[in-house]
C-alpha cells in the first residue's frame, strides 16, 4: 500500500519533469535569438517596460523572429534596466547589457542581433566563460557572491512554472512527500537553518512545536510583509522565483501536517501579488498544490492575503490578528503562534527567505547546508544594500563574510571618493555601526553583539556627508509613525525620543537630553510589549554610543559636522570663487534671496534663505562657489550694493 | 486545584492557572494596573504597569499575563520593577491632561492611586508634556464624546463593548501617540445600542469617554 503511494508520487513527478524538459529542450534548440529583459519592479522603475516596447518594435520592423523572455530581478540594481541577449547565430555567448537606454536598445537590436557586432562598449560581460568576451563572473559583484536562494532570480521567467520544473524545481517537494514528516524537521534541524525574518530563531523548533501539537487543523503562513525602509529582498524573490517559495511552503506544511496556508503580501507590492497569484494557479493546475498533491495523501490550499501596509503587521501576532480581520496589534507571547495562532490553531509563520531556502536543504541534505556559512549561522545571507554604495542591489553571500568585504570588495565601496561613515543594518530595529566594526563577520550573533540586528536584510551604507543624529531622528520618526500605539513605552516613549532628537537637530538640545535619551531608550527596550518596541531605540543607542561627539557638537557648538541639519547650517557664496557677472544661481533660488554684491558677484540674503540648496546645484562645477557652513552664525557677511536707480 | 505561591515572602493560596495580578489584587496586594479587567482570557498587557519579578525569570514580567503555578516566588517591589513602573507611569502622565479640578473621575482616579502607591508625583519630571495629533474633542457620535487628551488607551471600553454586544461599536485608530478611540461613523440612534448602554462611559477610568449628558454636567462641559 505504502509502496504504491510512493510509486504514484514518483511517477507523477517524473511525468511533470519530462514534460518540462521537452519544453526546455525545444526552446534551447530553437535558432531564434533569446532576449531576456529584467521586468521586476526595480527593472520597470528604471524603464524596462519602455525598453521592451522598443525592442519589440524594432524586431518587427527588421522582421527578425526572437524569443523575448521577461525575467525577474537579477539583483544588480545599479545596472538596471538589464537586457541579456543570447544569439548563438553570431558565435558569441549570452551577453549582458546594462543601463539600457532607448538608444542602447536600438543599437542592441540593429547592431548585435542584426549585424553581429556585440557592442563591446555597452556590455557588462558574458554570462558564461568563453574566449571572446570577459565573463561577468570575473566581476567581484558577481563572482564573490554565493547564490543559493537567488540562484535562478533574474535568469528565469517567474511566470513559467515549466521552466522552474525543468531546472529541478518541485523535486524536493516530491521527495518530501515520500519522507516521514519527522524526518523533514530532522533534516532542517541538522541544517541549523535560522529564521531569516530578523531574530534568527531556529526554524525547526517552530515546526517541531506545531508538528507535535494535537489539532485537526494547522496552518502555515509566509510572511512577506516587508516594511523596513530600503529593504526589498522578499519582493524580489517573489517577483523572480515564486515557485521556489511555494515549494518551500509546501514542504514546511507537509512537515507539520498543515492543510492550509496564507501568503501575507503587502498590497504595495502589486506585481508580486500578480505573479504569486499566477504561480498559485499554475501549481494547482499541475497538482503541486490542492488535493492529494502528486497522488499523495497530502493536501494543501494556499491563498494570498494582502496586508494594508502597517509595518507592525510583520510581527507575527499582529499579522495573525490582521488576517482575522482585526486591527493589527501584537499581543503577549506565550502562547506562541506555533501553539495557538490563527483562529487558535497551531500556526507556523516564516519569512520568504526562510521558506525559499527549504527546497535546497531537502534536495542536498541538512548536513550540506550546515557547512555553508558559519557553524552558528549556517547558510547564506541576502541583503539589499542601498545608500552610498557603488554597486547597490541584492547580494547573497555566505554567512561569516566580513562587512568590509561585502561593502568594499563586492559592492565597490563608497562613490565619489567619499569616506565610509556607518552602515545601518536591520532597519528601524537595527543600529548604525561605525568603521571599527567593518571587520566583524556577518552572522546573527556578531551583528547583535555589535548593537545592530540582522533584521530581514536591509543594509544602508552611509558616507561622511550623513548626519548621525538626523539618521537616528529619521528612524524614530518611522517607528513613531508605525507604532500601533498599544503599549505605553512604544506609543509615548518613542515620541519623547523623537521630540528630543528633533530638538537636538534644531540646535535646541541640552547635554542633559543625552542622559534622558539613554535612560529612556533602555526603559523602552525593557518595557515594550513586542519586538518592534523593544528594538525601536537601537538606532538611538548605537548612534549615541559610536557617534556621541556629533550629538555634543549639535548641542554645545550648535554645529552639524556633516552639514546636514538645516537649522544649524547656512549657505554662502565664496567671493573668491564666484565668477564676475555669472548669475546661474539667481534664477534657481525659489525665494529670490540671491543679490548682486560688489564686483558683480553674488551674495545670499540670510534672512530670506530657506536653505534648499538649489544654488549649490546651479553653480557651475568649475566655480563651485556656493558653500555650506555650520554653525550658521559663522556665515560670512556679504554687503549688498546699493541699487542704482 | 489550590496551590500556594509566595508574594513578597507572604504565602498565598490560589487556584492554579489564575492570573497572577488577580490573585494579588484579591489578596490585598496592590499592583499598579490600568488595562486589566477580570475575566479577560488574554489581557492586553498594554499599560506596562503591572510588572513583577518572578524567581527564575530573567526580566520583570507583566503579572496580568502570568498564570500562577505551585511554588512561584513573586516580588512586587524590586528596584527594577519600580524602575519600569516609574518610567511607564511618567510616560502615561506625559500624555495625559492633568486637570483634576474639573475631572469627573477625580474621586476614583486610578492614576492618583498609582502615583501614591509608587510615591511619585503626577506631573512627569524628566520629560515634557506631549500632545496627540488632533486634540479636539471628538463629537461625531450621537451620544458619546471622546477626549484624547485624557485617554490612557487602556482599551477597557473596547473590551466591555465587545463583551456586551458581541461586536465593537468603537475601535482604536491611528498610529503612534495619535492612536486613540474612534467610532465607525454610525450616526443613527436606531441602529446602534449606545444610548441605552453607555457601558464604555461607566468603565472609562479617566472620564475620557463621556455621554453628552454627563459632559454637560461636568465642570468642563458647563463652562464651555
**Residue by residue, what is the 3-state secondary structure of A200-255?**
CCEHHHHHHHHHHCCCCCCEEEEEECCCCCCCCHHHHHHHHCHHHHHHHHHHHHHH
Residues of chain A with CATH 3.40.30.10: 31-138
**What is residue B224's predicted lDDT score, i.e. its pLDDT?**
52
**What is residue A645's predicted lDDT score, i.e. its pLDDT?**
54
Nearest chain B Cα distance for residue A399, angstroms: 30
Can you give the length of chain A in residues? 645
Give the CA distances from residue B6 to residues A325, B23, B36, B165, in Å, rounded to whole numbers and listed in that order: 41, 11, 22, 39
* CATH tag for A31-138 (out of 3.90.1150.10, 3.20.20.120, 3.40.718.10, 3.40.30.10): 3.40.30.10
Segments in A506-567 forming alpha helices (H): 511-527, 531-535, 538-546, 548-552
Q: Compare CB distances from A332 to B45, B128, B175 and report the shortest one's residue.
A: B45
**Residue by residue, what is the 3-state secondary structure of B155-189?**
CHHHHHHHHHHCCCCEEEECCHHHCEEEECCCCCC
pLDDT digit string, tens, across residues A603-630: 999 999 999 999 999 999 999 999 999 9
Q: Compare CB distances from A488 to B92, B127, B172 and report the shortest one's residue.
A: B92
∠ CA B47-B48-B51, rounded to 5°: 140
A2 pLDDT more than 70: no
State whether CATH 3.30.70.20 applies to domain B144-223. Answer: yes
SS3 label, residue B10: strand
pLDDT digit string, tens, across residues A144-195: 999 999 999 999 999 999 999 999 999 999 999 999 999 999 999 999 999 9
On whether the CB atoms of residues A328 and A484 are closer than 8 A, the answer is yes
What is the Cα–Cα distance from A470 to A124, expressed in whole angstroms?
Answer: 37
Mean pLDDT of B101-118: 94
Query: Considering chain B, what is the average pLDDT of its residues?
Result: 92
A71 pLDDT tier (thresholds 50, 70, 90): very high
Mean pLDDT of A135-142: 94
Q: Compare CB distances from B130 to A488, A495, A529 and report the shortest one's residue.
A: A495
**What is residue B148's predicted lDDT score, i.e. its pLDDT?**
94
Give the CA distances from residue B171 to residues A330, A411, B130, B142, B148, in Å, rounded to whole numbers and listed in that order: 16, 47, 23, 16, 13
A260 pLDDT more than 60: yes
**Fold that domain A161-370 belongs to in CATH:** Rossmann fold (3.40.50)
Which DSSP category does A440 fall into? Answer: S
- A481/B127 CB distance under 8 A: no
pLDDT digit string, tens, across residues A206-225: 999 999 999 999 999 999 99
**How far from chain centre, in Å, is Cα B52?**
17
We find that the CATH architecture of domain B2-80 is: Roll (3.10)
Q: Does A311 touch chain B (CB under 8 A)?
A: no
CB atoms within 10 A of CB A320: 26
Which residues lie closer than 8 Å to B67 by C-beta, 6 or more apart? B16, B17, B18, B19, B20
On whether the CB atoms of residues A207 and A252 are closer than 8 A, the answer is yes
We find that the CATH architecture of domain A380-466 is: Roll (3.10)
Residues of chain A with CATH 3.10.20.600: 380-466
Residues of chain A with CATH 3.30.70.20: 569-634
Which DSSP category does A133 fall into? Answer: S
Report the phi/psi class of residue A401: left, alpha or beta, with left for phi > 0 and alpha for psi in -120 to 50. beta
pLDDT digit string, tens, across residues A418-463: 999 999 998 888 999 999 999 999 999 999 999 888 888 899 999 9
Mean pLDDT of A353-379: 96
SS3 label, residue A135: strand
**What is residue A644's predicted lDDT score, i.e. its pLDDT?**
56
Instruction: Spell out which residues of chain A touch residue B43, defining contact as CB-CB under 8 Å.
Output: 332
Q: How many interchain CB pairs under 8 A, A with B?
A: 102
Nearest chain A Cα distance for residue B68, angstroms: 14
Determine which of A346-355, A475-484, B141-150 has the lowest per-residue pLDDT on average: B141-150
| ipTM for the complex shown | 0.96
Nearest to A360 by CA among A146, A148, A154, A207: A148
pLDDT digit string, tens, across residues A561-601: 999 999 999 999 999 999 998 989 999 999 999 999 988 99
**Residue by residue, what is the 3-state secondary structure of A388-439?**
CCCCCEEEEEECCCEHHHHHHHHCCCCCCCCCEEEEEECHHHCEEEEHHHCC
Residues of chain A with CATH 3.40.50.11540: 161-370
Nearest to A537 by CA among A622, A429, A436: A429
**What is residue B130's predicted lDDT score, i.e. its pLDDT?**
93
Share of chain A above pLDDT 90, in %: 92
Mutate which: A312, A330, A332, vs B, most B CBs within 10 A: A332
What is the Cα–Cα distance from A342 to A348, expressed in whole angstroms?
Answer: 9
The class of domain A469-557 in CATH terms is mainly alpha
Instruction: Spell out which residues of chain B touch residue A480, defining contact as CB-CB under 8 Å.
Output: 175-177
- A483/B176 CB distance under 8 A: yes
**What is residue A197's predicted lDDT score, i.e. its pLDDT?**
84
Beta pairing partners, B75: B53
**What is residue A628's predicted lDDT score, i.e. its pLDDT?**
95
Asked if residue A634 has a cis previous peptide bond (ω within 30° of 0), the answer is no
CB atoms within 10 A of CB B185: 7
Pairing of strands A301-307, A260-266: parallel
**What is residue B188's predicted lDDT score, i.e. its pLDDT?**
79
Which residues lie closer than 8 Å to A60 by C-beta, 6 or more apart? none
Instruction: Spell out which residues of chain B touch residue A327, defining contact as CB-CB under 8 Å.
Output: 171-173
Which residues lie closer than 8 Å to A400 by C-beta, 6 or more apart? A373, A374, A377, A441, A442, A443
Mean pLDDT of A302-328: 94
pLDDT digit string, tens, across residues B173-199: 999 999 999 998 877 778 889 999 999
Segments in A30-89 forming alpha helices (H): 41-45, 48-62
Write out the three cell numbers for B157: 471600553
Instruction: Spell out which residues of chain A touch residue B46, defining contact as CB-CB under 8 Å.
Output: 486-488, 529
Domain ranges across chain B = 2-80, 144-223
State whether CATH 3.40.50.300 applies to domain A569-634. Answer: no
Which DSSP category does A294 fall into? Answer: G
- A516/B126 CB distance under 8 A: yes
What is the Cα–Cα distance from A371 to A357, expressed in whole angstroms?
Answer: 14
For chain B, the distance separating the N- and C-terminal CA atoms, rounded to the nearest angstrom, is 56
Nearest to A219 by CA among A345, A350, A358, A351: A345
Q: Does A528 touch chain B (CB under 8 A)?
A: yes
Amino acid at each position: 500500500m505504502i509502496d504504491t503511494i510512493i510509486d504514484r508520487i514518483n511517477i507523477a513527478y517524473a511525468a511533470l519533469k519530462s514534460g518540462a524538459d521537452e519544453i526546455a529542450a525545444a526552446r534551447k534548440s530553437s535558432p531564434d535569438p533569446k532576449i531576456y529583459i529584467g521586468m521586476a519592479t526595480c527593472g520597470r522603475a528604471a524603464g524596462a517596460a519602455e525598453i521592451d516596447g522598443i525592442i519589440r518594435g524594432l524586431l518587427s520592423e527588421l522582421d527578425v523572429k526572437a524569443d523575448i523572455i521577461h525575467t525577474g530581478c537579477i539583483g544588480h540594481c545599479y545596472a538596471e534596466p538589464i537586457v541579456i541577449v543570447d544569439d548563438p547565430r553570431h558565435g558569441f555567448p549570452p551577453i549582458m547589457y546594462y543601463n539600457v537606454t532607448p538608444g542602447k536598445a536600438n543599437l542592441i537590436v540593429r547592431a548585435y542581433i542584426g549585424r553581429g557586432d556585440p557592442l563591446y562598449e555597452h556590455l557588462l560581460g558574458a554570462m558564461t566563460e568563453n574566449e571572446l568576451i570577459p565573463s561577468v563572473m570575473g566581476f567581484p559583484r558577481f563572482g564573490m557572491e554565493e547564490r543559493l536562494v537567488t540562484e535562478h532570480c533574474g535568469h528565469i521567467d517567474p511566470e513559467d512554472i515549466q521552466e522552474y520544473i525543468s531546472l529541478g524545481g518541485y523535486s524536493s517537494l516530491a521527495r518530501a512527500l515520500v519522507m516521514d514528516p519527522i524526518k523533514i524537521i530532522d533534516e532542517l534541524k541538522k541544517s541549523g537553518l535560522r529564521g531569516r525574518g530578523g531574530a534568527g530563531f531556529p526554524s525547526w523548533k517552530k515546526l517541531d512545536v506545531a508538528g507535535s501539537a494535537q489539532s485537526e487543523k494547522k496552518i502555515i503562513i509566509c510572511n512577506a510583509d516587508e516594511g523596513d525602509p530600503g529593504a526589498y529582498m522578499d519582493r524580489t524573490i517573489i517577483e523572480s522565483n515564486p515557485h521556489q517559495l511555494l515549494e518551500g511552503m509546501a514542504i514546511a506544511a507537509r512537515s507539520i501536517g498543515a492543510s492550509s496556508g496564507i501568503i501575507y503580501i503587502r498590497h504595495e507590492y502589486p506585481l508580486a501579488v500578480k505573479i504569486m497569484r499566477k504561480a498559485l494557479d499554475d501549481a494547482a493546475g499541475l497538482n503541486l498544490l490542492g488535493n492529494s498533491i502528486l497522488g499523495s495523501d497530502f493536501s494543501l490550499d494556499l491563498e494570498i492575503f494582502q496586508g494594508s501596509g502597517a509595518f507592525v503587521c510583520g510581527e507575527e501576532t499582529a499579522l495573525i490578528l490582521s488576517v482575522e480581520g482585526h486591527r493589527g496589534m501584537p499581543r503577549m507571547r506565550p502562547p506562541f503562534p506555533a501553539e495557538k495562532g490563527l483562529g487558535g490553531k497551531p500556526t507556523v509563520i516564516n519569512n520568504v527567505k526562510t521558506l525559499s531556502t527549504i527546497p535546497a536543504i531537502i534536495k542536498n541534505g541538512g548536513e550540506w547546508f550546515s557547512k555553508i556559512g558559519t557553524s552558528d549561522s549556517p547558510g547564506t545571507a541576502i541583503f539589499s544594500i542601498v545608500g552610498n554604495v557603488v554597486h547597490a542591489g541584492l547580494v547573497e553571500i555566505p554567512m561569516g563574510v566580513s562587512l568590509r568585504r561585502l561593502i568594499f570588495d563586492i559592492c565597490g565601496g563608497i562613490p565619489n571618493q567619499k569616506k565610509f561613515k556607518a552602515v545601518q543594518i536591520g532597519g528601524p530595529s537595527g543600529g548604525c555601526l561605525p568603521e571599527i566594526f567593518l571587520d566583524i563577520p556577518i552572522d546573527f550573533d556578531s551583528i547583535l553583539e555589535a548593537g545592530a540586528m540582522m533584521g530581514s536584510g536591509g543594509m544602508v551604507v552611509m558616507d561622511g556627508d550623513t548626519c548621525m543624529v538626523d539618521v537616528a531622528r529619521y528612524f524614530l520618526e518611522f517607528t513613531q509613525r508605525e507604532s500601533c500605539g498599544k503599549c505605553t513605552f512604544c506609543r509615548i516613549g518613542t515620541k519623547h525620543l523623537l521630540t528630543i532628537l528633533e530638538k537636538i537637530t534644531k540646535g535646541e538640545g541640552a547635554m542633559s537630553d543625552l542622559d534622558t535619551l539613554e535612560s529612556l531608550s533602555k526603559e523602552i527596550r525593557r518595557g515594550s510589549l513586542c519586538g518592534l518596541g523593544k528594538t525601536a531605540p537601537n538606532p538611538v543607542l548605537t548612534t549615541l554610543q559610536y557617534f556621541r561627539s556629533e550629538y555634543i557638537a549639535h548641542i554645545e557648538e550648535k554645529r552639524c559636522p556633516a552639514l546636514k541639519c538645516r537649522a544649524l547650517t547656512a549657505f554662502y557664496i565664496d567671493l573668491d570663487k564666484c565668477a564676475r557677472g555669472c548669475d546661474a544661481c539667481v534664477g534657481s533660488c525659489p525665494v529670490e534671496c540671491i543679490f548682486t554684491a560688489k564686483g558683480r558677484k553674488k551674495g545670499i540674503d540670510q534672512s530670506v534663505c530657506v536653505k534648499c540648496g538649489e544654488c549649490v546645484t546651479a553653480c557651475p562645477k568649475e566655480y563651485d562657489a556656493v558653500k555650506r557652513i555650520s554653525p550658521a552664525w559663522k556665515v560670512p557677511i556679504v554687503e549688498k550694493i546699493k541699487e542704482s536707480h | 486545584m489550590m496551590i500556594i505561591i509566595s508574594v513578597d515572602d507572604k504565602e498565598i493560596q490560589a487556584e492554579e492557572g489564575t492570573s497572577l495580578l488577580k490573585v494579588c489584587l484579591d489578596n490585598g496586594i496592590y499592583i499598579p494596573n490600568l488595562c486589566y479587567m477580570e475575566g479577560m482570557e488574554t489581557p492586553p498587557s498594554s499599560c506596562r504597569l503591572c510588572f513583577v519579578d518572578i524567581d527564575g525569570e530573567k526580566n520583570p514580567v507583566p503579572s496580568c499575563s502570568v498564570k500562577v503555578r505551585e511554588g512561584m516566588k513573586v516580588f512586587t517591589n524590586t528596584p527594577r520593577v519600580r524602575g519600569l513602573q516609574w518610567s511607564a507611569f511618567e510616560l502615561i502622565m506625559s500624555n495625559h491632561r492633568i486637570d483634576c479640578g474639573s475631572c469627573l473621575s477625580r474621586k476614583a482616579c486610578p492614576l492618583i492611586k498609582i502615583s501614591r502607591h509608587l510615591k511619585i508625583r503626577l506631573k512627569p519630571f524628566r520629560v515634557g508634556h506631549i500632545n496627540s495629533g488632533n486634540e479636539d474633542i471628538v463629537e461625531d457620535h450621537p451620544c458619546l464624546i471622546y477626549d484624547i487628551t485624557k485617554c490612557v488607551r487602556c482599551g477597557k471600553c473596547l473590551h466591555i463593548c465587545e463583551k456586551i454586544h458581541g461586536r465593537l461599536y468603537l475601535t482604536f485608530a491611528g498610529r503612534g501617540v495619535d492612536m486613540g478611540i474612534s467610532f465607525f461613523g454610525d450616526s443613527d440612534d436606531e441602529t446602534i445600542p449606545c444610548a441605552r448602554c453607555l457601558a464604555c462611559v461607566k468603565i472609562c477610568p479617566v472620564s475620557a469617554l463621556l455621554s453628552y449628558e454627563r459632559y454637560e454636567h461636568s465642570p468642563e462641559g458647563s463652562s464651555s
